[in-house]
Structure 1
Amino acid sequence: MTLEEKIAHLQATSMEEARVEGNAIIDSYREALQKVFDDHKEEAMLQSETRIKAETVNARQQINQASAKAQLELKRRQSKIQLELKDKVFEEACALVQDYMKTNAYEDYLLKCIRKAVAFADGDQMTIYINPSDENCRFSLEDASGVQLTVSSEDFIGGIRAVIRERNILIDNSFKTQLRNEYDSFLFSGGDGIA
């Protein structure tokens, strides 16, 4: 082998070893970079999943809050409308009571209430009050019942009130009290059973 062939062989062998060594370094570096990339990708996926879960929970909470707020506003509006309707119903009821008080049946009702109060008192001293608007039928009621009546200073719309002082009893058959009791206990019930 000549010197030039030896140099060429040495050069080829050196180049081959350098290539193998360079390829090994590149492969090692590529594997290291691939591992870093895979770790980074895995970390990024975990972070994105965690963020998606957090955002999903946050979105659900916002939807629930908005839904609760809307339901509350709806209930407020429903209550307001029901109160307005309730007031209208009882305005109409008061008008019907006023119309009823102009009939002969109303005087019969007063007489019946007076007789029940007298029977309940069972001889005890009692004061029976009629409404100021019923003063015009006072004497006919007194004649029919045989009881002295007192015109109340308070307007209780109609009906009677009787006081048995000995027993500390108030018999309240006034329309004002009856209407107020009905108003207080009146509820609109929805078609789905919700009051």
Structure 2
Amino acid sequence: MTIDEKLQHFMDVTTEKVNAENAKQMQEYEQGLEKVYEDYKETALRKSELALKLKEESLKKQMNADLAAEQILIREQTGKLLRELDEKLSSEVKGKLERYMATSAYETYLVNQVREIVKFADGDDVTVYIDPEDICHKNAISAGANVAVTVSEYSFGGGVRAVISKRGILIDQSFDTKLKEAFDGKEASLRWKTR
């Protein structure tokens, strides 16, 4: 083998060895880059999933807050409408009641109420009160129920009240009380329905 051939052989072997080492380094570098890329991809995916989850939670919280605010507004509006309706209904009922109290049927009603009270007293002393506004009916009620009737010092909106002292009983058939019971019962019912 000549020197040129030896040099050529040495060069070929060296070049082949360098190319093999370069190929190995390139392969290791590519594998390293592939691992870095996979790690980056995995981290980016986790970050995006976390960001998406946080955004969904934020949107849910905002939606719940908006819904709660809407519900409060609806309750306020419903409450306002109910108060307006109560006032209107109360006004209409009181107007009808006033018209009724101006009729002879009201006097008959009072007489019947007093008779029921006397029957309930069953011979015990009973004090029957009428509203000061009903003083014009006093004699007719006394005659119709065959019992003395007292005009109350306090107005109670019509109807009658009575006391059976011996048994410690107060009978309240006043219109103010009946209206209060009717409207309080209706309000409780409406409050229950709106919850």
Query: TM-score normalized by structure 2?
Result: 0.88
How many aligned positions are there?
Answer: 193
Greater fraction of residues in helix: 2
The CA deviation string for residues 46-101 of structure 1, in whole angstroms up to 9 with x for no partner, is 23223322332332233223223322321232122112212210111011101100
Which residue type is aligned with residue 171 of structure 2? I
Listed as ranges, the matches of 1:70-85 within 5 Å are 70-85=70-85
Q: Could you tell me how far apart the structure 2 residues matched to 1:66 and 1:124 are?
A: 65
The question of 1:66 aligning with 2:74 is answered: no
Listed as ranges, the matches of 1:125-136 within 5 Å are 125-136=125-136
Q: Unaligned 5+ residue runs, structure 1? A: none
Superposition deviation, residue 189 in structure 1:
7.8
Q: Is the 8 A contact 1:82 1:188 kept in 2?
A: no
Q: Unaligned 5+ residue runs, structure 2? A: none
The CA deviation string for residues 10-39 of structure 1, in whole angstroms up to 9 with x for no partner, is 333322321221121111111111112112
Q: Is the 8 A contact 1:131 1:154 kept in 2?
A: yes
Which residue type is aligned with residue 131 of structure 2? N
Indicate the larger mover: 8-17 or 70-79.
8-17
Which residue type is aligned with residue 26 of structure 1? M
The question of 1:177 aligning with 2:174 is answered: no
Superposition deviation, residue 5 in structure 1:
4.1
> How many percent identity over aligned positions?
36
Which residue type is aligned with residue 45 of structure 2? M
Listed as ranges, the matches of 1:149-188 within 5 Å are 149-187=149-187
Query: TM-score normalized by structure 1?
Result: 0.88
* SS in structure 2 of the partner of residue 162 of structure 1: strand
Which residue type is aligned with residue 165 of structure 2? R
Which residue type is aligned with residue 166 of structure 2? E
Q: Is the 8 A contact 1:156 1:175 kept in 2?
A: yes
Q: Could you tell me how far apart the structure 2 residues matched to 1:58 and 1:151 are?
A: 69
Q: Could you tell me how far apart the structure 2 residues matched to 1:188 and 1:156 are?
A: 23
Which residue type is aligned with residue 120 of structure 1? F
Superposition deviation, residue 184 in structure 1:
0.5
Q: Could you tell me how far apart the structure 1 residues matched to 2:38 and 2:150 are?
A: 100
Superposition deviation, residue 155 in structure 1:
0.8
Q: What RMSD in Å do the two structures reach over aligned CA positions?
A: 2.2
* SS in structure 2 of the partner of residue 153 of structure 1: coil
